[in-house]
Amino acid sequence: MVQTEATGQRMWRCESPHLKIEMWGTLSYGSIRLRHPPLRIGAHTVIQPAKQSIAQPTLSSIAAQLFVQDIKTSCDFFHSKLGFTVDFVYGDPPFFAQVSRDNARLALRHVDEPVFAGDIREREDLLSASITVESAEEIEQLFLMYEAVGVPFHQALKKEPWGAETFIVRDPDGNLILFAGPAS
């Protein structure tokens, strides 16, 4: 409690992490007569308690879906050329598969007809998937590894205007897969 000398007014404070109350009053016959409290503005005003947030689900991975005409041919390409592991193949005859490498996953889905009309995918650089690596050194190393085993490229390794280094692989079905690394 704080008392001012000139007026005899007293101020009572009650504070907690979520609330601050200040009351001004004068002592009159042993009781408190409240007067209009001064307005308080700023950080010491009443603060609403933080709403308890409900834990949100964590998204842990993503798998781009590529449309392919032959599951076996695609699995062989991703395994032998790009170093992916075939996680599973489903169906008889096979119509769905998943391949992965480290944290990158690709779902392969059989289709009988082309998904894109004409050469629009190539003309417009329509990507089917984007895969990133941790460093500029890794993207350069990956490009050289793929080049050594004869991987077909839609775009060779290049530095983008925003600083990233990228290259684009073309799979047997014409899917364009971007590989990107951060600026060096």
Contacts of 134 (CB under 8 A, 6+ apart): 181, 182
The residue among 160, 168, 167 whose CA lies nearest residue 184 is 160
Residue ranges of the domains in the chain? 2-34, 63-181
Give the DSSP per-residue string, 75-108.
HHHHHHTT--EEEEEETTTT-EEEEEETTEEEEE
Q: What is the pLDDT of residue 83?
A: 97
Does the pLDDT value for residue 111 go beyond 60? yes
Q: What are phi and psi of 31, to 5 degrees?
A: -125, 170
More confident residue, 114 or 111: 111
**Nearest-5° Cα angle at 95, 92 to 99:** 115
pLDDT bracket for residue 117 (50, 70, 90)? confident
Q: Which pLDDT tens digit goes with each residue over 15-34?
A: 555 445 455 454 444 444 44
Give me the CATH code for the 63-181 domain, please: 3.10.180.10
